[in-house]
Amino acid sequence: MKVVVAGQGAFGVQHIKAIKNIPGIEIASLTGGNQEATKAVALEHGIPHWTGDLAESLAQPGVEAAILATPTQMHAPQAIQCLKAGKHVQVEIPMADNLKDSEAIDKVQRETGLIAMAGHTRRFNPSHQWIHKRIKAGELKVLQMDVQTYFFRRQNINAQGKPRSWTDHLLWHHACHTVDLFAYQAGEPVTVARGIEGPHHPELKIAMDMSIQMKTAGGAICTLSLSFNNDGPLGTFFRYICDNGTYIARYDELIDGKNNPIDVSKVDVSMNGIELQDREFFAAIKEGREPNASIAQCLPAMRTLDKIEKSFAS
């Protein structure tokens, strides 16, 4: 299968590296904004074609699908562009930075019938998969999730420490991971969602601190704290308080409530969550089925984010 990767930055490179571990997949083209950097990444990873024009990449012979790891504001229009060009698409989280654009992707997916997936990596991280498998088996039930998403990012830089051409967002990007994962693990829709935000950065024009509360129809609750001001351990920490144990997950690591490590190395074929979500995308295309984390499945999370954003005003 020939695919296109759009985005030469940190996450685009993560997808490129992940695809190298998946048999039968060839990256035919790389689309990027900075052409000097795009060329360098393409040459480093043996990608035969690079360009600044997504349409040119999609038109390469034999291309069936695209993975979008571009700036957030480009996600929705590019996802729709791919679908209208007859290509399956996986768009990195968040699929959009507002509900209207998210619903527009869903509409075009339903019209075309093509595979459209959102990059909700937490569904695929082995640590969270370990929890999910036990929930599905009836061994665990989530009573509460306490989540901390912390970075130190007072300048507009990316994960590689390089200047960004766009501005990241605590709500529409980082909270999106937890909002989706909470409903996914609880197995129920979120019925209560609200948040408060701290002062906006004078230059970035975004809230640098945020607190979110959620509750499902069955009574499970979630408290999420987010910050771009945290000068300490970085990343996201998930505490699952369940009816039959407490577990703490950080990306692909899992411990129980007494700090005993849990081996998650055999949960799936890889310990790399990005690789696992890419494997799911390609498998869904080959098998003609809806993927886990399809646009339709992830749309409720976007509706919850919209509800939270509106609650800031009150």
128 with 254, same domain? yes
pLDDT at 151 over 70: yes
Nearest to 195 by CA among 217, 182, 210: 210
d(CA 194, CA 246): 25
Contact 305, 176 (CB under 8 A): yes
Nearest to 88 by CA among 200, 1, 153: 1
Query: Quick one: how far is CA 221 from the chain centroid?
Result: 22
The number of folded domains in the chain is 2
Reported as a pLDDT band with limits 50, 70 and 90, residue 166 is low
- Going by the DSSP 8-state scheme, the letter that residue 188 receives in this structure is S
111 with 252, same domain? no
Token pair for 219: 């009574």
54 with 149, same domain? no
Nearest to 164 by CA among 175, 151, 176: 151
pLDDT at position 157? 67
112 with 189, same domain? no
pLDDT mean across residues, the chain: 95
142 with 71, same domain? no
pLDDT at 160 over 90: no
d(CA 99, CA 151): 25
pLDDT at position 234? 85
307 with 177, same domain? yes
Q: What percent of the chain has pLDDT over 90?
A: 89
Which helix H or strand E contains 76, and what residues bound it? Answer: helix 72-84
224 with 280, same domain? no
Token pair for 9: 């930055």
Query: What CATH number is given to the structural domain containing 280?
Result: 3.40.50.720
137 with 252, same domain? yes
152 with 98, same domain? no
Q: What angle do CA 118, 121, 122 make, to 5 degrees?
A: 125
d(CA 178, CA 238): 9
Residue span of the structural domain in which 51 resides: 2-120+274-295
Residues 6+ apart with CB under 8 A from 234: 150, 151, 152
Buried b (16+ CB within 10 A) or exposed e, 4-34: bbbbbbebbbbbbebbeebeebebbbbbbbe
* Mean pLDDT across 33-51: 97
164 with 306, same domain? yes
167 with 307, same domain? yes
Tell me the residue type at 153: R
For 258-286, what is each residue's pLDDT tens digit? 999 999 999 999 999 999 999 999 999 99
Task: List, in sequence order, the alpha helices (H) in 113-251.
Answer: 126-136, 176-186
70 with 193, same domain? no
Query: What CATH number is given to the structural domain containing 160?
Result: 3.30.360.10
d(CA 159, CA 3): 24
End-to-end CA distance of the chain: 49
